[in-house]
């Protein structure tokens, strides 16, 4: 019986991003398909000590970073880009398999072509150092074409697959339900007063045909929305990952500024309009869809094209299972 550890956010709260948990839960669903008898355990990104890591290394078959934009336009040191990668490489020397699963890149809009974005990110020393470490990892999975191209430029063997949040419902045991709500999801990044007003206008139009909620994944956008719109109606906050999926399971139409709301909602049968807040929206576009730049958002609901889930997810799952069994289990 194999034990795998997943470096992720282990806490839940109004100030935390539920999407981070959905990333790791989706990865665990895929690993469970590849190795059904495995023991899966979360490991916090934020606090690790020698004694804990000693116990983990004594028992681990594999240790994995889960998601996060691994590449961005910053030189600021951060745990997932510096010392934690080194700790994982030490574990690898003890025979433990290590992976960085469904990593991505984050650039502000507009970022130009993929080639332009990669050239920009390659100018940052931290991104270069991260790539050097990733070249030693046993398994690297990307979730957007910018991150994939960066790995390929450094001759890192990696595969671009559908975002892992597509599979979170499987791990959390949430199934599609009767579609009784519509929803507009508010962003965290670039959450301006003007954008909130545009989104609320769309919410009010959608509410003419079905009960429509103005949804926040976390505290900050909730407080901002309350301050921007007087007498705001149907504003809710859902930060628990399972509760969030159970809500999306009942959503008919979703206009979403949260990437990791759009993709799980697609998996649960919702019809989705994804609004790009930065380059991470490329993960949504992998599904053959097209996100809308938040700066060009049309507030007339009649002009929005809603996407439905396609079969890409099962193809990607099969590829992941094969890679995991070859690179990690063997």
Instruction: Say whether pLDDT at 81 is over 60.
Output: no
| Rounded average pLDDT over 77-104 | 86
Count the Cβ atoms, other than its own, within 10 Å of residue 71. 30
pTM of the model: 0.95
From 129, 165, 137, 190, select the one nearest 272 (Cα to Cα): 165
Instruction: Say whether pLDDT at 158 is over 60.
Output: yes
Instruction: Say whether pLDDT at 17 is over 90.
Output: no
Instruction: Say whether pLDDT at 72 is over 80.
Output: yes
Pick the range with the lowest mean pLDDT from 8-17, 53-62, 295-304. Answer: 8-17
Per-residue pLDDT tens digits for 37-54: 999 999 988 777 788 888
CA distance 184 to 159: 32
List C-alpha distances in Å: 268 to 11, 244, 294.
24, 12, 24
Instruction: Say whether pLDDT at 286 is over 90.
Output: no
For residues 81 and 97, the model is more confident at: 97
Helix (H, G, I), strand (E, B) or coil at 112: coil
Please name each of the domains of the chain with its CATH number: 3-169+314-329 (3.40.50), 172-303 (3.40.50.2000)
Region for 319 from its dihedrals, namely left if φ exceeds 0, alpha if ψ lies in -120 to 50, beta otherwise: alpha
Mean of per-residue pLDDT scores for the chain: 94
> Which residue is it, tokens 């990607």?
316
Per-residue pLDDT tens digits for 203-222: 999 999 999 999 999 999 99
Q: Are 221 and 187 in contact (CB under 8 A)?
A: yes
Q: Longest C-alpha distance within the chain, in Å?
A: 61
């Amino acid at each position: 019986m194999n034990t795998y550890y997943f470096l992720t956010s282990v806490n839940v709260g109004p100030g935390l991003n539920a999407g981070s948990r959905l990333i790791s839960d989706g990865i665990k669903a895929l690993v469970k398909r590849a190795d059904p008898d495995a023991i899966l355990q979360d490991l916090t990104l934020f606090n690790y000590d020698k004694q804990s890591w000693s116990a983990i290394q004594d028992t681990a078959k594999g240790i994995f970073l889960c998601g996060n934009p691994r590449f961005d336009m910053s030189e600021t040191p951060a745990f997932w880009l510096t010392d934690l990668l080194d700790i994982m490489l030490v574990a690898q020397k003890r025979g433990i398999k290590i992976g960085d699963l469904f990593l991505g890149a984050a650039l502000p809009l507009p970022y130009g072509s993929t080639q332009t974005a990669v050239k920009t990110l390659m100018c940052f020393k931290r991104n270069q150092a991260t790539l050097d470490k990733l070249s030693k990892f046993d398994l690297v999975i990307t979730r957007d074409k910018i991150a994939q191209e960066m790995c390929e430029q450094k001759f890192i063997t990696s595969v671009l697959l559908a975002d892992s949040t597509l599979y979170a419902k499987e791990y959390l045991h949430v199934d599609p339900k009767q579609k009784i709500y519509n929803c507009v999801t508010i962003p965290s990044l670039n959450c301006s007063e003007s954008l909130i007003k545009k989104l609320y206008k769309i919410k009010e139009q959608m509410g003419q045909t079905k009960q429509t909620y103005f949804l926040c994944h976390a505290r900050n956008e909730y407080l901002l929305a309350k301050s921007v719109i007087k007498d705001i109606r149907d504003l809710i906050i859902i930060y628990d990952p399972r509760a969030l999926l159970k809500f999306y399971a009942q959503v008919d139409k979703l206009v979403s500024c949260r990437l990791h709301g759009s993709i799980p909602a697609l998996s649960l049968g919702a019809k989705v309009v994804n609004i790009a807040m930065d380059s991470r929206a490329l993960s949504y576009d992998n599904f053959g869809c097209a996100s809308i730049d938040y700066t060009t958002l049309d507030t007339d609901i009649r002009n929005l094209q809603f996407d439905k889930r396609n079969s890409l997810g099962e193809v990607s799952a099969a590829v992941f299972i094969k890679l995991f069994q070859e690179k990690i289990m063997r």
